Each structure stands twice: as C-alpha cells, then as structure tokens.
Structure 1
Amino acid sequence: MLVAERQKKIVELVNERLSIRVTELSKIFSVTEETIRRDLEKLEKENLLMRSHGGAVSIEKDQSETSYLEREITNATEKKAIAEAAVRIIESGDQIVLDASTTAWYVAKELPDMPLTVLTNSIKVAIELSKKEQIKVISTGGTLLSQSLSFVGPLAERSLGMYHVHKAFLSCKGVHLEKGLSDFNESQALLKKQMMEIADEKILMVDSSKFGTRAFSQIGPLSTIDCMIVDSKINEQVKQQLEEKNIRVTIVD
C-alpha cells in the first residue's frame, strides 16, 4: 500500500471511530508503530486529525460534541445551584483546577474576588475570572476545540503535569456506578483524568441526568472521586450506593 493511501485510510478510520490507538493502526496496516506515529504527525500538521496519548482522535464536528451555547442552557438551574455549593468549599489561598464544563463556568461566575490560583483549559472560565483582580489564572494552552471553547491535546496535558492543586472541580457526560466516569471526547477525558491526578481532592459536579449513562471515552472509576455535588433529583438508592463507596454526596435544591 502506498504511503498516501495508508494515510488517507487512517483519517477515514479515525473519523469513523472518533479515536484509535497507534498499536491498532500498526496491526491494521502491518507497519511499525514508529511509521504510524510519523503518519499521525504529518496528518496532524495537515489538520486532518489530532494526536493524543498513544493514538489519534477525530477533529470532525459531530453530534457527540454538543456546542457550548446549547450546554449553557441545558439544566441551567441545577448547574447554577451545584456551582454555588462548589464555591462554598473553595477557601482563600486555594490552588484549584476547573475543567471546560458549563458547571465550571458557573463556578467561575460565582467565585468572589479573593486570593486564588485557578488552572483551567477553558477559554470561558479564563475570561470570566479575568474580571477578578485577586485571582491568578493559568491557562493550559493546547489545541482549541471550537465547540467547547477549550484547549486539549499533548500541550495541555504536559502543562497540567507541571502543577499540583488542592482541589479539582470537574464534570462529565456519564456517571455509572459500575463503569465509572466517562465523556464523549477522548481528549477531554484524558485531560479530566490528569486534572484528578494532580489534585489532593477531587470534586465531581453533575446533575442527576448524567447517572446511569456511559459515554464513549472512559475517565476513571468512581473511586477516584472524593466528593460529588448533585441536584435533589438524584435517586436515593444511588446516593446510598455512592456513600457506600466512600464518596461524600452533597445534594442541592
């Protein structure tokens, strides 16, 4: 198979599956992993895909990546209440990380102007916090996802690895009692996982509609979460099961 033909098929596979690993591509095309990495590097430069840890992800806009404007108005009342509860556990002098979720943006809006360091991959969060003089904002940088107005990719991942924070505040698309946390986008999932790894305390902010759902990319098991802030529509049995897993559950009206 010619190089150009192989690279064309790689792009087709990535767009079809949304993400794929180097090891799998190596087997499919019977070439070395190093050859596949060179292919992915070239294709990324041509803006045909985006490399991730151990593979590549599609940059085609699809229905799995809901636009920020749409997410902003979905369950807005619940998200605002959850954000207000999150702000109450943030203390002056804290170093925190906020993901690119709309709930994290509501946290940024609700935060008082006090001494804080906030690390984020969200453009919306950074802009909101820029209005507050005492808050130091650090952006991860990286590859821009226009649908979510966030930075992802190797640069964002390396940036996060340079820091340690007291608290990580994040959301996700799916919360499953057995299978854990998940997100539609692999790049976002990788970044959220790393956000939890650099934090002393991990706080998940989700509305009850996320429970029982499994999205495409795994973030991690529920055991990685210390605290969960949810709305009052959560099933009582689910709440008990979470507490049995030693997850503190804060319910907001």
Structure 2
Amino acid sequence: MISCERRRVKRSETEHTNDHFSDATQGRYSRRCRLPAARRRHATPGTVGRIRQNDHGTRRGIPHVCDTSLAVREARASRDPRSQTGCQESAGMTQAQRLNQLLDFVTEHGSVSNAEITEALSISEATARRYLSLLENRQLVTRTHGGATARGSRMDSAALGRSVAQSDAKARIARRTAALLDDSGTIALNGGTTCAEVARALIRRRRGNGLLTTVVTNSIDIAYEMAPIDDFQVMTTGGLVRAHSMEAAGPIAEQALLGLAADVAVIGVGGIEARFGISMGNELEAAAARLMMRSARRTIVVADSTKIGRTEFSRVCELEEVGTIVTDAPILRPLRSVLDDVGVRIEVAE
C-alpha cells in the first residue's frame, strides 16, 4: 500500500514537471535565462524560461531552458549595418543632394576613406562607392584604394544637379554630335558638361586609322581627358581659369582664339531663346565661345531640352549664326518657326 502511494506521488511530481516544461516551450515566460555558460550549452535551444524548482525546493528533474533565439536575433541586429544606416540613407534626399553633400565632404577634407564617408553621411559603403564613381565620371574627385581625393575642379551645386538629372540626355546628344564630326580636321570645343560628353564620345569612337584630330579647347577637364589619346592633338587657349567650370577665359584666351582657324566649333550653351538668341551665364565664357564660333567654318550648338526657351546673362550670338542645334527633344513653336526661318538645322538625339 505504501509502495502504491509512493508511485502515485512520483507520478504527480513528474506530471507537474512536464506541465512546467510545456509552459516554457510554448513561450509563456519571456524573461531571458541567466544560466552559466556551461548550463546554457546543455539547455534546450529555442525555448524561453527561467530557473525553476520542484515541490521539494530543488531543481532535480527540471530541465534548463533559455532563450537562445532572442539572443541570436539581438546579435544579428547589432551586426546588421542596415539597422544603423538603411533608413537614414533614403531619408528624403535626392541623389543630386547626396552627391552635393558627398562632394562638399571630399572637397573640405581633401582625402577621405569609404569608412569616413559612410560615417559622416550615414550611407552604406556600397552606396558610397557608387556615388564616388558618379563623381569620378564627372571628374570632380579621384578615386583611390578605399576612398577618394578631391580634385581642383568642382561644379556649383546647381550645375551638379543638372548634370545628374540630364546625364542620359547629354550622352545621347554627345553620340549624335560625334556622328556629325569627321575623323580628321580641327574641332573647337568649349567647356561644360555636354561638351565634356562630346569629348568622351569622340574618344570612344576613335578608329585607330592613323587620322589625327586636332582639338582646340579652353576647358582644362576636356584637355586632361583627350591629351593622352594618340588619335588627338590637343591645344589649349590658356587664360584665367574659372574654378567652378574649369574653363580658361579672359584676354589671353581670346587672343589665342583670334589666331586660330577650325573646321567646326562645338559649343555648349546655357540658353536658346527666340529673341535673345544663344546665351551663357558668364560673360567671359560667352566671349570665348563667340570667338570659337567666328574662327570656325560651321558651328554646332549642343544643348539639352532644359536650355530650350531659356535666357542666360550674356548673349553669345544671334540664332542665324548657328548652323546646327543638337538636342534631346523636339523643339516646339514659336522657337521652332524662328529657327526654320533663319535656316538652323535641328538634330534630335534619340
């Protein structure tokens, strides 16, 4: 009889233990286990619980349980860089604003690493590398192993924003313009992002046929890109170099252009308007562009659609002095009617 009673007591203790273990495995206890490491290694994984005692005040027969899944989640979250910067990276800023911010940071410090960029701008390292590539393509920074250094040139914020927004249109304009140019002869190129794209299109198009193209330019950036290429002979005008555009202008540049003759002048402009004609934002650069046009047998004006119908500070020339306009979208009336009347050829880059 006593033996039967003992068996019943033992069975009830076991059932009580199993009930507690079932509660723990079902996640009813959320406190994390603080068992020593040796005991946690033997604990049941993926369960939540705390140190428990049986009815006799001991832990005999009570399995150790701990919240290993919660620990794993916390560890992963602390190591995940997206939890730190992912939300901030897209916090309402456009790509142009991010590029301006990055360019200012590189210009201010001279030389920076990718780690410094990610920390300062709260962006991922992959995004930092992608943005540095965009800035390097526009010759605003020089990429190094694990970072970048500032170049002397930089555009103002508005110019950089326009460059980013219209980069595809400028590339199409450049390809169409390059198709209009011969492999030999003399080409006069002024500065600006669209003419820089024309220079790159000419570099990509080089045929290695032994023909030499002479390029006369007042753009330091264009000369820097084209001078190392065997197919081109590059001549610069000299003069006062403007920091924002890296174009040489002023009396020295104008005197050099007066003594040159070119087959074609490719001119990037700031505005094309029916009454005011062709215009640019700086009077010294406008004067240099005007002399390039007068030194050439024909003139090609390159301008994306944002320049159409727009007037800048300084007039370059009248519309009838232009032979061809290459743009990325059809020009609408009344400007189209004026251009047709004066015999300007319009090329739309597809």
TM-score by length of 1: 0.70
Which has the larger strand fraction?
1
Q: 1:163 aligns with which of 239, 245, 260?
A: 260
Deviations 1:1-46 (A, max 9, x none): xxxxxxxxxxxxxxxxxxxxxxxxxxxxxxxxxxxxxxxxxxxxxx
By how many angstroms is 1:236 displaced?
Answer: 5.6
CA distance 1:135–1:65, change in 2 (3 Å): same
SS at match of 2:245: coil
Find the aligned partners of 1:72 and 1:65 in 2 and give their Cα distance. 11
CA distance in 1, matches of 2:160, 2:274: 29
Write the letter of the residue equivalent to 1:108: A
**d(CA) in 2 for partners of 1:70, 1:133:** 33
Q: Distance in 2 between matches of 1:163 and 1:67?
A: 33
Counterpart Cα distance in 1 of 2:292 and 2:164: 25
| 2:282 aligned partner | 185
Partner of 1:55: none
1:108 corresponds to: 199
Aligned residue for 2:343? 246
d(CA) in 1 for partners of 2:276 and 2:333? 19
Aligned-pair CA distance for 1:66: 5.9
Contact residue 66 and residue 148 of structure 1 kept, 8 A: no
Is 1:173 the counterpart of 2:264? The answer is no
Other-structure match for 1:133: 230
Q: How far does residue 65 in structure 1 lie from its aligned partner after superposition?
A: 6.4
Distance 2:308 2:230 in 1: 37
Deviations 1:133-179 (A, max 9, x none): 12000001111101001111100000111100000001111111111
Structure 1 residues 66 and 198: alpha-carbon distance in aligned structure 2, compared to 1, 3 A threshold: farther
Contact persistence 1:68–1:148 (CA under 8 A):
no
Deviations 1:173-222 (A, max 9, x none): 11111110111101011111111100000000011211221111111110
Which residue of the partner structure matches residue 96 of structure 1? 187
The count of residues paired between Structure 1 and Structure 2 equals 190
Which residue is 2:297 aligned to? 200
Three-state SS of the structure 1 residue aligned to 2:225 is helix
Map Cα deviations across residues 50-86 of structure 1 (whole Å, 9 max, x no partner): xxxxxxxxxxxxxx96676445324111111111011
CA contact (8 A) 1:68 1:149 kept: no
Question: How much identity, in percent, do the aligned residues show?
Answer: 27
Aligned to 2:327: 230
| Secondary structure at 2:315 match in 1 | strand
Q: Deviations over 1:194-253 (max 9, x none)?
A: 111000000000112112211111111101101111112532653343122200111112
Report the secondary structure of 1:157's partner residue: helix
AA of the residue aligned to 2:189: L
CA distance in 1, matches of 2:325, 2:157: 23
Could you say which structure has the larger radius of gyration? 2
Stretch of structure 1 that moved more, 180-189 or 71-80 = 71-80
Contiguous gaps of at least 5 residues in structure 2: 1-154
The structure richer in helix per residue is 2
Cα pair distance change 1:132/1:68, threshold 3 Å: farther
Give ranges in structure 1 of 5+ residues lacking alignment: 1-63
Corresponding residue for 1:149?
246
The Cα offsets for residues 74-130 of structure 1, whole Å up to 9 and x where unpaired, read as 411111111101101111222010010211111111113352000000011111112
